[in-house]
Every structure is written in structure tokens, then in C-alpha cells.
Amino acid sequence: MIMDKSEISMLMDENPAYRNIMERTSVRRFTSQPVSELQRSALLHAAMSAPSGVNRQPWEFVVIDRTELLRELAEKLPYAKMAANAPLAIVVCGNRDRFLSGDDATLWEQDLSAASENILLAAHALGLGGVWTCLYPHQDRMDTVSCLLSLPPNLVPFNLIPVGHPLTAATPMDKWHPERVHRNTFGE
Ligand SMILES: Cc1cc2nc3c(=O)[nH]c(=O)nc-3n(C[C@H](O)[C@H](O)[C@H](O)COP(=O)(O)O)c2cc1C
């Protein structure tokens, strides 16, 4: 079941979609080149193609390209300083009106995570780069973003993803840990 690195490398050569997944990295430094309308649209289409529990699609996306606003967000958010130099950022928000209830009440977090990863993968596929910066569940960061973006009370800012053309090429980290794979029962 566990393939060695040369087999994975061959698979990457044969399959560009697989290569895209394996070579994505977080990108925090950008050139000044703008992200085109077509690229923005492609990122949002990818986001909304994500799976979601009961197909609720409980997301909204705020696309930010106003330089002053990007700078203000970067200034006020401790772990999103790179937004100041990004041409674009997408704030992925949950829409409480489409959240499930009971035991499924927190499924929206998984739904928005799937949409966020789709944005990052689509960005990489388009020659762009981005980084997931965490808002939810930090109430102070969420309040900052809600206020700056004038979000209505039913929207929960989940993360902020600065996007742009990477300033430098990056080598993905090796995160492969075969000892974390278990066959049928844990420890086998
Ligand atoms: C839930 C989550 C929260 C993250 N928050 C931040 C953040 O606030 N700021 C940041 O620079 N990177 C953030 N990251 C990016 C991670 O640091 C990054 O994915 C990790 O170091 C692995 O690097 P890679 O994305 O290049 O593989 C976050 C990633 C995830 C999935």
C-alpha cells in the first residue's frame, strides 16, 4: 500500500492534478502584479465546488482588493501581516442562516475548510499563491474583521486568505510520516 518516493514522483509526472496537491505551499510574499478578474472568478468557482454537509454550502466570500483595507487588516490582525503586500485577499465566511443544528451544528467548519483548501489549490494551479490565516475561533480577530468589512451579524469570518503572484518559488515541506498510517486497526 505504501509507495516509495520514486513511485510518487512518477505519479506526479503523469498526473498534473496530483502534482498540484503535492507542490502547494503557503505563500506569504507577493509581487505587485494584480490578480486578474478571471483568476479571481476561478478561485471563487473552485471554492464553491467544495463538498459540504447536506450540501448546505454555508459560505460567503468577501474579496478584498482595496489597498488601504488590506493594510488595515494586516495592521490589526497579528498573523496576517502579509496581507499588507498582497494584491488580494479572500475572507471566507460562514452564513449562520445555512448552518445545520444538533450534532451537525459545527459541520460548517469542515465545509469552510474544504472551500478554503480548494482556493489554495486553485491558486497554486493558476500560478498564484496564498496562505490560510486564522480568524475563527479567535473572537478578537473575528470582531476586527467583522467591523472592518461591515459584516452582518449572521456572517462568521472564518479565515482570511491573501492571494497573489509568489515573489519566490518555494519547495514544499516533506510531511510524509508512514508511521501515522494504520491498517485496519490502530498500530498495525
Ligand atoms: C487552520 C489553519 C490556520 C492557519 N493560520 C495561519 C496564520 O494565521 N498565519 C499564517 O501565516 N499561516 C497560517 N496557516 C498556514 C500554516 O502555517 C501552513 O499551512 C503550515 O505551516 C504548513 O505549510 P504549507 O502550507 O506551506 O504546507 C494556517 C493553516 C491552517 C490550516
Contact 70, 104 (CB under 8 A): no
Q: What average pLDDT does the segment 31-38 reach?
A: 98
| Cα distance between residue 63 and residue 160, in whole Å | 10
Matching CATH number, 28-167, of 3.40.30.10, 3.30.2270.10, 3.40.109.10, 3.50.30.50? 3.40.109.10
Asked whether 26 lines ligand 1 (CB < 6 A), one says yes
Whether 125 contacts 60, CB under 8 Å: no
Q: How far is CA 45 from the centre of its chain?
A: 13
The amino acid sitting at 79 is Y
Nearest CA to ligand 1 atom 13: 133
What is the predicted pLDDT for the residue at 126?
Answer: 98
The yes-or-no verdict on residue 187 having pLDDT over 90 is: no
Instruction: Give the mean model confidence (pLDDT) for residues 52-59.
Output: 98
Closest residue (by CA) to atom 27 of ligand 1? 25
Nearest-CA residue for atom 10 of ligand 1: 133
Shortest-distance Cα residue to atom 30 of ligand 1: 132
Which of 21, 26, 113, 124 is the pocket-test mutation for ligand 1 (most atoms within 8 Å of CB)?
26
Q: What is the pLDDT of residue 170?
A: 93
Cα of 150 vs centre of ligand 1, distance in Å, is 26
Interior angle at CA 186, CA 182 and CA 188, nearest 5: 60
Does 118 sit in the ligand 1 pocket, CB within 6 Å? no
Establish whether residue 23 lines the binding site of ligand 1, counting it when its CB lies within 6 angstroms of any ligand atom: no
Average pLDDT over residues 91-103: 98
Reported confidence tier of residue 4, pLDDT bands at 50, 70, 90: confident
Closest CA relative to residue 88, chosen from 131, 48, 122? 131
pLDDT at 1: 63
Q: Within a 10 A sphere around the Cβ of 169, how many other Cβ atoms?
A: 8
Q: How far is the CA of 172 from the centre of ligand 1 (A)?
A: 13
173 lines ligand 1 (CB under 6 A): yes
The pLDDT score that the predictor gives to residue 88 is 98
Q: What distance in Å separates the CA atoms of residue 28 and residue 24, rounded to the nearest whole number?
A: 13
Where do we find the cell 474579496? 63
Provide the H-helix boundaries in 1-153.
5-14, 16-23, 37-48, 67-76, 107-125, 139-148
Question: So where are the chain's domains?
Answer: 28-167
Residue 38 CA to its chain's centroid (Å): 18
**Which cell goes with 60?**
460567503
Give residue-wise pLDDT tens across range 138-159.
999 999 999 999 999 999 999 9
**Residue range 96-109: mean pLDDT, rounded:** 98
Instruction: Indicate the top mutation candidate among 134, 138, 177 to test ligand 1's pocket, ranked by most ligand atoms within 8 A of CB.
Output: 134
